[in-house]
Amino acid sequence: MTRNVEAVVREMCVWMPEVTEHWSHGAMAFKGAKRQFASFAVNHHGDGRVALWLAAPPGAQSLYVDAEPAHYFVPPYVGPKGWLGVNLNSGLDWQRVALHVREAYCHVAPDRLAAGLGGTPEIAPPDEEMSPEEVDPLCRPDRRELIDDLASQCLALPEVSSALQFGSPSWKAGKKTFATAYFADGKLRYSFWVGAERQSMLNDDPRYRVPAYTGANGWIELDAENATAPDELEGLVLDSYRHFALKRMLKVLDGV
């Protein structure tokens, strides 16, 4: 069997005692004696990185980031706590990465565990690197075509701008987001505001579902890779836009 990047990351972490693997905020992560020391982040919020976020001793983060910014970075959220971001797709030697992982484990694990570690095992590189589509599923040509179609419809409306929201393409009516495209559960999905009543009706259609966070505010999620009639998509775009647009924007839209 081929050893992909995920398998090599797991190999670097689980050889140490009392290491457990779990999922944290959608990412594979590892704990040593119940304290997290590593997280495997792929394209976090659209950053394009295949990376490890590692617990690090004081001063290590600035030392590595300042010396080799192509390989190291300050990760979001845990960066202010001194954690170190390690790029896995920048050509850094995998044995060197393994030593960083060991250092992260020793930083959080009890002395009784850290002191008993033997030598770091030899870590062979993965048999294959991650493809661009594995790093960023939205770059697949058919999905890009769907996103471009949605973008053209949104940007044709008055005072609409495009933006990235947590790494996903989104479109704003003035300052308020009214449409978003993102990858979830293996598919490209669109999200629009439809209101609670229409949300309940659309949810009976298997192409639709109520999104986790914005659903309580009347948003709906559409499976963009399933057949969608052009007028159906246009209606979703317009209705969501009208809900958030200012009066002057609606006057332009309606030709008043």
Q: What is the mean pLDDT of the chain?
A: 94
- What pLDDT is attached to residue 187? 94
- What pLDDT is attached to residue 26? 77
pLDDT digit string, tens, across residues 56-89: 999 999 999 999 999 999 999 999 999 999 999 9
Contact 250, 239 (CB under 8 A): no
pLDDT digit string, tens, across residues 162-176: 999 988 999 999 999
pLDDT digit string, tens, across residues 183-204: 998 999 999 999 999 999 999 9
Closest CA to 234 of 204, 190, 203: 190
Confidence check: pLDDT of 1 > 80: no
**Identity of residue 151:** A
- What pLDDT is attached to residue 206? 94
pLDDT digit string, tens, across residues 223-244: 999 877 889 999 999 999 999 9
Domain 137-254 in the same topology as domain 5-130: yes
pLDDT digit string, tens, across residues 106-148: 999 999 998 888 899 999 999 988 999 999 999 999 999 999 9
Can you give the pTM of this predicted structure?
A: 0.84
Domain spans in the chain, listed from the N-terminal domain onward: 5-130, 137-254
What angle is formed at CA 62 by the lines to CA 60 and CA 66, rounded to 5 degrees? Answer: 125
Q: Which fold has domain 137-254?
A: Aspartate Aminotransferase, domain 1 (3.90.1150)
Pick the CATH number of 5-130 from 3.90.1150.30, 3.30.365.10, 3.40.30.20, 3.30.420.130: 3.90.1150.30
Measured between alpha carbons, how far is 148 from 146 in angstroms, rounded to an integer?
Answer: 5
Measured between alpha carbons, how far is 33 from 110 in angstroms, rounded to an integer?
Answer: 7
pLDDT digit string, tens, across residues 10-45: 999 999 999 999 998 778 999 999 999 999 999 999
